[in-house]
Protein backbone atom coordinates (compact mmCIF):
# COMPACT_ATOMS: atom_id res chain seq x y z
CA UNK A 1 0.00 0.00 0.00
CA UNK A 2 1.62 3.33 -1.05
CA UNK A 3 2.35 5.78 1.75
CA UNK A 4 0.06 8.34 0.11
CA UNK A 5 -2.98 6.06 0.22
CA UNK A 6 -5.51 7.45 2.71
CA UNK A 7 -6.14 5.46 5.85
CA UNK A 8 -9.33 3.43 5.92
CA UNK A 9 -11.66 4.01 8.86
CA UNK A 10 -10.48 0.84 10.62
CA UNK A 11 -6.82 1.70 9.99
CA UNK A 12 -7.37 5.18 11.35
CA UNK A 13 -9.07 3.77 14.42
CA UNK A 14 -6.26 1.27 15.00
CA UNK A 15 -3.66 4.02 14.58
CA UNK A 16 -5.48 6.10 17.19
CA UNK A 17 -5.67 3.15 19.59
CA UNK A 18 -1.96 2.40 19.13
CA UNK A 19 -1.11 6.04 19.73
CA UNK A 20 -3.20 6.14 22.91
CA UNK A 21 -1.81 2.92 24.37
CA UNK A 22 0.37 3.22 27.45
CA UNK A 23 3.68 1.37 26.91
CA UNK A 24 3.94 -1.84 28.89
CA UNK A 25 0.16 -2.13 29.25
CA UNK A 26 -2.36 -4.62 27.87
CA UNK A 27 -4.37 -3.86 24.76
CA UNK A 28 -7.59 -1.89 24.51
CA UNK A 29 -10.81 -3.90 24.47
CA UNK A 30 -11.35 -3.29 20.74
CA UNK A 31 -8.29 -5.36 19.84
CA UNK A 32 -9.99 -8.39 21.42
CA UNK A 33 -13.60 -7.85 20.34
CA UNK A 34 -13.86 -5.85 17.10
CA UNK A 35 -14.43 -8.02 13.97
CA UNK A 36 -12.93 -5.33 11.72
CA UNK A 37 -9.68 -5.41 13.71
CA UNK A 38 -9.71 -9.21 13.54
CA UNK A 39 -9.92 -8.88 9.74
CA UNK A 40 -6.88 -6.61 9.88
CA UNK A 41 -5.11 -9.18 12.09
CA UNK A 42 -5.54 -11.70 9.29
CA UNK A 43 -4.43 -9.34 6.54
CA UNK A 44 -1.45 -7.77 8.28
CA UNK A 45 -0.07 -10.63 10.38
CA UNK A 46 -1.70 -14.05 10.31
CA UNK A 47 -1.90 -14.57 6.53
CA UNK A 48 1.61 -13.19 6.03
CA UNK A 49 3.47 -15.37 8.51
CA UNK A 50 4.30 -19.06 8.82
CA UNK A 51 2.05 -21.29 10.93
CA UNK A 52 2.41 -24.96 11.83
CA UNK A 53 -0.20 -27.17 10.18
CA UNK A 54 0.80 -30.40 11.91
CA UNK A 55 3.30 -33.24 11.91
CA UNK A 56 4.41 -34.98 8.74
CA UNK A 57 3.72 -38.42 10.23
CA UNK A 58 -0.02 -37.80 9.74
CA UNK A 59 0.34 -38.27 5.97
CA UNK A 60 2.82 -41.12 5.43
CA UNK A 61 1.61 -42.26 1.98
CA UNK A 62 0.70 -40.52 -1.29
CA UNK A 63 -2.98 -39.59 -1.18
CA UNK A 64 -3.09 -39.17 2.61
CA UNK A 65 -4.38 -35.75 3.62
CA UNK A 66 -5.68 -33.62 6.47
CA UNK A 67 -7.30 -30.18 6.54
CA UNK A 68 -6.39 -27.12 8.60
CA UNK A 69 -8.12 -23.78 9.13
CA UNK A 70 -7.15 -20.17 9.66
CA UNK A 71 -9.94 -17.64 9.95
CA UNK A 72 -12.46 -18.69 7.30
CA UNK A 73 -9.78 -20.27 5.13
CA UNK A 74 -9.43 -24.04 4.82
CA UNK A 75 -6.37 -25.81 3.45
CA UNK A 76 -5.81 -29.40 2.33
CA UNK A 77 -2.38 -30.73 3.32
CA UNK A 78 -1.69 -33.78 1.15
CA UNK A 79 1.13 -36.16 0.32
CA UNK A 80 1.47 -35.94 -3.48
CA UNK A 81 2.37 -38.73 -5.87
CA UNK A 82 6.05 -37.72 -5.84
CA UNK A 83 6.12 -38.03 -2.02
CA UNK A 84 6.28 -34.28 -1.40
CA UNK A 85 3.79 -32.38 0.75
CA UNK A 86 1.44 -29.96 -0.96
CA UNK A 87 -0.90 -27.38 0.59
CA UNK A 88 -3.99 -26.64 -1.51
CA UNK A 89 -6.76 -24.17 -0.78
CA UNK A 90 -9.87 -26.20 -0.01
CA UNK A 91 -11.94 -24.23 -2.55
CA UNK A 92 -13.03 -25.52 -5.95
CA UNK A 93 -12.02 -23.18 -8.81
CA UNK A 94 -15.45 -23.51 -10.40
CA UNK A 95 -17.96 -21.96 -7.98
CA UNK A 96 -16.12 -22.18 -4.70
CA UNK A 97 -17.41 -25.34 -3.03
CA UNK A 98 -15.30 -27.01 -0.38
CA UNK A 99 -13.58 -30.06 -1.85
CA UNK A 100 -13.00 -31.95 1.41
CA UNK A 101 -15.38 -31.86 4.36
CA UNK A 102 -13.45 -34.45 6.37
CA UNK A 103 -10.65 -33.56 8.79
CA UNK A 104 -8.41 -36.28 7.36
CA UNK A 105 -8.48 -39.22 4.99
CA UNK A 106 -7.04 -40.81 1.88
CA UNK A 107 -7.80 -39.72 -1.68
CA UNK A 108 -8.91 -42.76 -3.64
CA UNK A 109 -7.28 -42.90 -7.07
CA UNK A 110 -5.10 -39.90 -6.30
CA UNK A 111 -7.79 -37.40 -7.29
CA UNK A 112 -9.91 -34.82 -5.50
CA UNK A 113 -13.41 -34.55 -6.95
CA UNK A 114 -15.64 -31.63 -6.06
CA UNK A 115 -18.93 -32.98 -4.64
CA UNK A 116 -20.89 -30.12 -6.27
CA UNK A 117 -20.14 -30.29 -10.02
CA UNK A 118 -17.45 -33.00 -10.16
CA UNK A 119 -14.47 -30.88 -11.20
CA UNK A 120 -11.49 -33.16 -10.59
CA UNK A 121 -7.95 -32.31 -9.49
CA UNK A 122 -4.77 -34.31 -8.97
CA UNK A 123 -2.75 -34.29 -5.75
CA UNK A 124 -0.69 -31.33 -7.01
CA UNK A 125 -3.87 -29.32 -7.52
CA UNK A 126 -3.91 -29.46 -11.34
CA UNK A 127 -7.37 -29.52 -12.90
CA UNK A 128 -7.88 -32.84 -14.67
CA UNK A 129 -11.54 -32.74 -15.66
CA UNK A 130 -14.29 -30.12 -15.91
CA UNK A 131 -17.49 -31.30 -17.55
CA UNK A 132 -19.28 -29.43 -20.35
CA UNK A 133 -17.00 -26.39 -20.44
CA UNK A 134 -16.60 -24.19 -23.52
CA UNK A 135 -14.07 -25.16 -26.18
CA UNK A 136 -11.81 -22.23 -25.27
CA UNK A 137 -11.77 -23.08 -21.54
CA UNK A 138 -8.17 -23.09 -20.24
CA UNK A 139 -7.90 -25.89 -17.67
CA UNK A 140 -4.26 -25.00 -16.93
CA UNK A 141 -5.39 -21.69 -15.43
CA UNK A 142 -7.93 -23.30 -13.09
CA UNK A 143 -5.83 -25.42 -10.77
CA UNK A 144 -6.31 -25.27 -7.02
CA UNK A 145 -4.60 -22.41 -5.22
CA UNK A 146 -1.34 -23.44 -3.57
CA UNK A 147 0.26 -22.25 -0.34
CA UNK A 148 3.98 -22.19 0.36
CA UNK A 149 5.20 -25.19 2.37
CA UNK A 150 8.26 -25.69 4.55
CA UNK A 151 9.03 -28.88 6.48
CA UNK A 152 11.54 -28.95 9.33
CA UNK A 153 12.10 -31.74 11.86
CA UNK A 154 8.81 -33.37 10.87
CA UNK A 155 6.80 -30.16 11.33
CA UNK A 156 4.79 -28.82 8.38
CA UNK A 157 4.61 -25.03 8.11
CA UNK A 158 2.37 -23.10 5.71
CA UNK A 159 2.10 -19.49 4.62
CA UNK A 160 -0.64 -17.83 2.57
CA UNK A 161 1.58 -15.01 1.29
CA UNK A 162 3.03 -15.10 -2.21
CA UNK A 163 6.45 -14.04 -0.80
CA UNK A 164 6.64 -15.51 2.71
CA UNK A 165 9.17 -14.52 5.37
CA UNK A 166 12.54 -16.21 5.03
CA UNK A 167 12.32 -19.54 6.85
CA UNK A 168 16.04 -20.22 7.23
CA UNK A 169 16.35 -18.93 10.80
CA UNK A 170 13.27 -20.89 11.83
CA UNK A 171 14.68 -24.02 10.21
CA UNK A 172 17.94 -23.62 12.11
CA UNK A 173 16.11 -22.99 15.39
CA UNK A 174 14.04 -26.14 14.89
CA UNK A 175 17.18 -28.15 14.14
CA UNK A 176 18.69 -26.92 17.43
CA UNK A 177 15.55 -27.71 19.47
CA UNK A 178 13.10 -30.14 17.87
CA UNK A 179 16.00 -31.83 16.08
CA UNK A 180 17.84 -32.63 19.31
CA UNK A 181 14.56 -33.98 20.69
CA UNK A 182 14.07 -36.27 17.68
CA UNK A 183 10.84 -34.79 16.37
CA UNK A 184 11.80 -35.63 12.79
CA UNK A 185 11.62 -39.29 13.86
CA UNK A 186 8.38 -38.92 15.84
CA UNK A 187 4.70 -39.70 15.38
CA UNK A 188 1.44 -38.30 16.70
CA UNK A 189 0.27 -40.27 19.72
CA UNK A 190 -2.82 -38.18 20.50
CA UNK A 191 -4.43 -34.82 19.76
CA UNK A 192 -7.27 -32.79 21.22
CA UNK A 193 -8.88 -29.54 20.10
CA UNK A 194 -10.33 -27.03 22.55
CA UNK A 195 -12.77 -24.36 21.38
CA UNK A 196 -12.15 -21.14 23.29
CA UNK A 197 -14.65 -18.29 23.31
CA UNK A 198 -11.99 -15.61 23.17
CA UNK A 199 -9.84 -13.63 20.77
CA UNK A 200 -6.72 -15.41 19.56
CA UNK A 201 -4.40 -12.84 21.17
CA UNK A 202 -5.76 -13.61 24.65
CA UNK A 203 -4.93 -17.29 24.04
CA UNK A 204 -1.43 -16.54 22.77
CA UNK A 205 -0.67 -14.00 25.50
CA UNK A 206 -1.69 -16.60 28.07
CA UNK A 207 0.78 -19.09 26.61
CA UNK A 208 3.52 -16.45 26.51
CA UNK A 209 3.61 -15.81 30.26
CA UNK A 210 3.79 -17.88 33.42
CA UNK A 211 2.70 -15.17 35.86
CA UNK A 212 -0.58 -17.11 35.97
CA UNK A 213 0.99 -20.56 36.37
CA UNK A 214 1.11 -20.79 40.17
CA UNK A 215 -2.49 -19.63 40.80
CA UNK A 216 -4.04 -21.30 37.74
CA UNK A 217 -1.93 -24.42 37.01
CA UNK A 218 -1.05 -26.20 40.27
CA UNK A 219 0.15 -29.43 38.63
CA UNK A 220 2.30 -27.60 36.09
CA UNK A 221 3.74 -25.40 38.84
CA UNK A 222 4.76 -28.42 40.94
CA UNK A 223 6.85 -29.74 38.07
CA UNK A 224 8.24 -26.79 36.10
CA UNK A 225 10.80 -24.31 37.37
CA UNK A 226 9.53 -21.95 34.64
CA UNK A 227 6.46 -21.28 36.83
CA UNK A 228 8.66 -19.27 39.26
CA UNK A 229 10.29 -15.86 38.73
CA UNK A 230 13.68 -16.30 36.98
CA UNK A 231 15.66 -14.56 39.71
CA UNK A 232 14.58 -17.25 42.21
CA UNK A 233 15.50 -20.30 40.11
CA UNK A 234 19.00 -19.64 38.77
CA UNK A 235 20.67 -22.43 40.79
CA UNK A 236 18.09 -24.98 39.61
CA UNK A 237 18.58 -23.97 35.99
CA UNK A 238 22.39 -24.17 36.25
CA UNK A 239 22.17 -27.68 37.74
CA UNK A 240 19.80 -28.78 34.96
CA UNK A 241 22.17 -27.48 32.28
CA UNK A 242 24.98 -29.49 33.85
CA UNK A 243 22.87 -32.67 33.75
CA UNK A 244 22.12 -32.08 30.08
CA UNK A 245 25.73 -31.35 29.22
CA UNK A 246 26.83 -34.57 30.94
CA UNK A 247 25.10 -36.55 28.18
CA UNK A 248 26.12 -34.18 25.40
CA UNK A 249 22.82 -32.31 25.17
CA UNK A 250 23.39 -28.66 24.29
CA UNK A 251 20.33 -26.55 23.46
CA UNK A 252 21.15 -22.84 23.56
CA UNK A 253 18.50 -20.24 24.20
CA UNK A 254 17.57 -18.06 21.22
CA UNK A 255 15.69 -14.78 21.31
CA UNK A 256 14.59 -13.58 17.88
CA UNK A 257 10.93 -13.39 18.84
CA UNK A 258 8.60 -10.50 18.11
CA UNK A 259 10.46 -7.17 17.99
CA UNK A 260 13.82 -9.04 18.01
CA UNK A 261 13.19 -10.94 14.79
CA UNK A 262 15.74 -10.74 11.98
CA UNK A 263 14.40 -8.39 9.27
CA UNK A 264 12.70 -10.34 6.50
CA UNK A 265 12.64 -13.54 8.54
CA UNK A 266 10.19 -15.35 10.78
CA UNK A 267 9.97 -14.80 14.51
CA UNK A 268 11.71 -17.60 16.46
CA UNK A 269 12.75 -18.36 20.02
CA UNK A 270 14.13 -21.20 22.13
CA UNK A 271 14.04 -21.40 25.92
CA UNK A 272 15.50 -24.27 27.94
CA UNK A 273 14.13 -24.68 31.47
CA UNK A 274 14.45 -27.17 34.33
CA UNK A 275 11.96 -29.42 36.05
CA UNK A 276 11.92 -29.62 39.83
CA UNK A 277 13.97 -32.31 41.57
CA UNK A 278 12.47 -35.77 41.21
CA UNK A 279 10.62 -34.87 38.02
CA UNK A 280 11.98 -36.61 34.95
CA UNK A 281 9.12 -35.59 32.69
CA UNK A 282 5.54 -34.25 32.69
CA UNK A 283 3.76 -37.19 34.31
CA UNK A 284 1.63 -37.66 37.44
CA UNK A 285 4.56 -39.13 39.42
CA UNK A 286 7.43 -37.58 37.47
CA UNK A 287 8.45 -40.96 36.04
CA UNK A 288 8.96 -41.53 32.29
CA UNK A 289 5.88 -41.88 30.08
CA UNK A 290 7.48 -43.06 26.82
CA UNK A 291 10.84 -44.13 25.32
CA UNK A 292 13.59 -41.54 25.13
CA UNK A 293 13.66 -39.49 21.93
CA UNK A 294 16.34 -37.91 19.77
CA UNK A 295 19.81 -37.48 21.24
CA UNK A 296 18.78 -38.23 24.82
CA UNK A 297 20.38 -41.22 26.55
CA UNK A 298 18.84 -40.43 29.94
CA UNK A 299 16.26 -38.11 31.48
CA UNK A 300 17.98 -34.85 32.35
CA UNK A 301 15.04 -33.21 34.16
CA UNK A 302 14.63 -30.36 31.67
CA UNK A 303 12.21 -29.14 29.06
CA UNK A 304 12.59 -27.06 25.90
CA UNK A 305 10.14 -24.38 24.80
CA UNK A 306 10.32 -23.05 21.23
CA UNK A 307 8.06 -20.74 19.23
CA UNK A 308 7.83 -20.12 15.48
CA UNK A 309 5.72 -17.22 14.26
CA UNK A 310 2.69 -15.79 16.05
CA UNK A 311 0.52 -18.89 16.61
CA UNK A 312 2.77 -21.99 16.70
CA UNK A 313 4.29 -23.03 20.01
CA UNK A 314 6.06 -26.19 21.16
CA UNK A 315 7.34 -27.92 24.28
CA UNK A 316 9.69 -30.91 24.37
CA UNK A 317 10.73 -33.33 27.12
CA UNK A 318 13.27 -36.12 26.84
CA UNK A 319 10.55 -38.71 26.17
CA UNK A 320 7.71 -36.83 24.41
CA UNK A 321 6.69 -33.57 22.82
CA UNK A 322 3.70 -31.25 22.88
CA UNK A 323 2.58 -29.00 20.03
CA UNK A 324 0.24 -26.05 20.60
CA UNK A 325 -1.52 -24.79 17.46
CA UNK A 326 -3.58 -21.65 18.04
CA UNK A 327 -6.18 -21.29 15.29
CA UNK A 328 -7.88 -17.87 15.04
CA UNK A 329 -11.39 -18.34 13.62
CA UNK A 330 -13.41 -15.24 14.51
CA UNK A 331 -12.90 -12.09 16.54
CA UNK A 332 -13.99 -13.87 19.72
CA UNK A 333 -13.45 -17.51 18.79
CA UNK A 334 -10.18 -19.47 18.78
CA UNK A 335 -9.41 -23.16 18.47
CA UNK A 336 -6.44 -24.60 20.33
CA UNK A 337 -5.14 -27.92 19.06
CA UNK A 338 -2.81 -29.80 21.40
CA UNK A 339 -0.76 -32.61 19.83
CA UNK A 340 1.38 -35.15 21.71
CA UNK A 341 4.40 -36.71 19.98
CA UNK A 342 6.36 -39.85 20.82
CA UNK A 343 9.14 -41.73 19.08
CA UNK A 344 7.99 -43.26 15.79
CA UNK A 345 8.84 -46.78 17.00
CA UNK A 346 6.94 -46.49 20.29
CA UNK A 347 3.94 -48.81 20.57
CA UNK A 348 0.81 -47.74 22.44
CA UNK A 349 0.00 -50.08 25.31
CA UNK A 350 3.55 -51.38 25.44
CA UNK A 351 5.78 -48.29 25.41
CA UNK A 352 3.30 -45.62 26.46
CA UNK A 353 -0.16 -45.18 27.90
CA UNK A 354 -2.14 -42.31 26.39
CA UNK A 355 -3.72 -41.30 29.70
CA UNK A 356 -0.35 -40.94 31.45
CA UNK A 357 1.24 -39.33 28.42
CA UNK A 358 -1.41 -36.64 28.05
CA UNK A 359 -2.36 -36.15 31.73
CA UNK A 360 -0.57 -32.88 32.50
CA UNK A 361 -1.27 -30.99 29.31
CA UNK A 362 -4.91 -32.08 29.17
CA UNK A 363 -5.38 -30.73 32.70
CA UNK A 364 -3.42 -27.56 31.89
CA UNK A 365 -5.33 -26.96 28.64
CA UNK A 366 -8.69 -27.31 30.36
CA UNK A 367 -7.50 -24.80 32.96
CA UNK A 368 -6.25 -22.50 30.19
CA UNK A 369 -9.59 -22.62 28.38
CA UNK A 370 -11.36 -21.54 31.56
CA UNK A 371 -9.05 -18.66 32.46
CA UNK A 372 -8.81 -17.38 28.88
CA UNK A 373 -12.60 -17.32 28.57
CA UNK A 374 -12.90 -15.55 31.93
CA UNK A 375 -10.31 -13.05 30.68
CA UNK A 376 -12.38 -12.52 27.52
CA UNK A 377 -15.54 -11.92 29.52
CA UNK A 378 -13.81 -9.30 31.65
CA UNK A 379 -12.10 -7.58 28.72
CA UNK A 380 -15.50 -7.24 27.02
CA UNK A 381 -16.68 -4.96 29.84
CA UNK A 382 -17.31 -1.36 28.81
CA UNK A 383 -15.39 -0.36 31.93
CA UNK A 384 -12.26 -2.42 31.26
CA UNK A 385 -9.05 -0.37 31.55
CA UNK A 386 -5.84 -2.12 30.37
CA UNK A 387 -3.42 -2.79 33.23
CA UNK A 388 0.39 -3.05 33.24
CA UNK A 389 2.30 -6.25 32.54
CA UNK A 390 4.20 -7.76 35.46
CA UNK A 391 7.90 -8.72 35.17
CA UNK A 392 6.96 -12.33 34.59
CA UNK A 393 4.74 -11.25 31.69
CA UNK A 394 7.54 -9.58 29.73
CA UNK A 395 7.34 -12.13 26.90
CA UNK A 396 3.61 -11.52 26.49
CA UNK A 397 4.29 -7.80 26.43
CA UNK A 398 6.82 -8.27 23.65
CA UNK A 399 4.31 -10.31 21.67
CA UNK A 400 1.83 -7.43 21.95
CA UNK A 401 4.48 -4.89 20.86
CA UNK A 402 5.28 -7.04 17.81
CA UNK A 403 1.60 -7.45 17.01
CA UNK A 404 0.99 -3.69 17.12
CA UNK A 405 4.03 -3.02 14.93
CA UNK A 406 2.72 -5.47 12.32
CA UNK A 407 -0.82 -4.16 12.54
CA UNK A 408 0.31 -0.56 12.12
CA UNK A 409 2.68 -1.27 9.23
CA UNK A 410 1.49 -0.15 5.80
CA UNK A 411 4.57 -0.99 3.73
CA UNK A 412 4.05 -4.81 3.71
CA UNK A 413 7.59 -5.53 5.02
CA UNK A 414 7.33 -9.28 4.46
CA UNK A 415 5.01 -11.59 2.63
CA UNK A 416 3.20 -9.06 0.47
CA UNK A 417 -0.54 -9.42 0.36
CA UNK A 418 -2.00 -12.56 1.86
CA UNK A 419 -4.34 -12.65 -1.12
CA UNK A 420 -1.71 -13.25 -3.80
CA UNK A 421 -1.60 -16.90 -4.84
CA UNK A 422 0.19 -19.43 -6.98
CA UNK A 423 -2.07 -21.51 -9.21
CA UNK A 424 -1.36 -25.23 -9.55
CA UNK A 425 -0.31 -26.09 -13.10
CA UNK A 426 1.21 -22.67 -13.83
Q: What is the DSSP letter of 165?
A: P
The sheet that has 186-196: what strands, in order across it? Answer: 186-196, 333-343, 321-330, 312-316, 302-308, 268-274, 254-256
Handedness of CA 207, 211, 212, 218 (dihedral sign): positive
State the pLDDT at residue 259: 82
Does the pLDDT at position 171 exceed 50? yes
164: which residues sit within 8 A by CB, 6+ positions away? 48, 49, 50, 148, 414, 415
Angle between helices 394-408 and 9-20 (to 10 degrees): 140
Of 353, 367, 305, nearest to 190 (Cα)? 353
pLDDT band at 8 (very low <50, low <70, confident <90, very high): confident
Please, what is the end-to-end C-alpha distance for the chain in angstroms? 27
The sheet that has 120-122: what strands, in order across it? Answer: 111-113, 120-122, 127-129
| Whole-structure pTM value | 0.94
State the pLDDT at residue 416: 38
Beta strands 64-70 and 73-79, pairing class: antiparallel
pLDDT band at 422 (very low <50, low <70, confident <90, very high): very low
pLDDT band at 4 (very low <50, low <70, confident <90, very high): very low
Does the pLDDT at position 247 exceed 60? yes
pLDDT band at 208 (very low <50, low <70, confident <90, very high): very high
Of 283, 272, 273, 284, nearest to 226 (Cα)? 273
State the pLDDT at residue 231: 81
Whole-number Cα distances in Å, 248 to 58, 180, 294, 297: 31, 10, 12, 9
pLDDT band at 420 (very low <50, low <70, confident <90, very high): very low
Percent of all residues in the chain with a pLDDT value above 90, rounded to a whole number: 89
Per-residue burial over 87-109, b = 16 or more CB atoms within 10 Å of its CB, e = otherwise: bbbbbbbbeeeebbeeeeeebee
Task: Write the pLDDT tens digit of every residue in 65-95.
Answer: 999 999 999 999 999 999 999 999 999 999 9
Does the pLDDT at position 277 exceed 80? yes
Taking residues 367-384, what's their average pLDDT?
98
CA-only gyration radius of the chain, Å: 22
State the pLDDT at residue 230: 82
Kindly report each contact of residues 278-281 with a partner whose C-beta sits within 8 Å and lies 24 or more positions away, as own/partner. 279/223, 280/318, 280/319, 281/317, 281/318, 281/319, 281/320
Helix/strand/coil for 189: strand
Q: Cα 13 to chain center, whole Å?
A: 28
pLDDT band at 408 (very low <50, low <70, confident <90, very high): confident
Helix/strand/coil for 199: coil
State the pLDDT at residue 258: 81
Contact indicator for 289, 281 with CB cutoff of 8 Å: yes
Does the pLDDT at position 3 exceed 80? no
State the pLDDT at residue 217: 97
Contact indicator for 273, 237 with CB cutoff of 8 Å: yes
Mean of the per-residue pLDDT values of the chain: 93
Distance (Å, whole) CA 30 – CA 412: 23
Amino acid sequence: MPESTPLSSVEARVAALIGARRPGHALDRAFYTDPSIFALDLERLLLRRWFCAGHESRIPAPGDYFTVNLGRESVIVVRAADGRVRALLNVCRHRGSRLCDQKSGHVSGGRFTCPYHAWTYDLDGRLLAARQMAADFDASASGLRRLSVEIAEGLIFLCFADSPPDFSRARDALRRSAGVHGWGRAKVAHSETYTIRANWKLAVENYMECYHCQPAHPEFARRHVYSRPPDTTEALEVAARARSLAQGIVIEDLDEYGPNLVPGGESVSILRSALFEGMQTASPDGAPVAPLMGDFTAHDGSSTYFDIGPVSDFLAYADHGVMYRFIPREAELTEMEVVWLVDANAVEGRDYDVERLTWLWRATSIEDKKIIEMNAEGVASAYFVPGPYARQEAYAGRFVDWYLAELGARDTPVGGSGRAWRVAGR
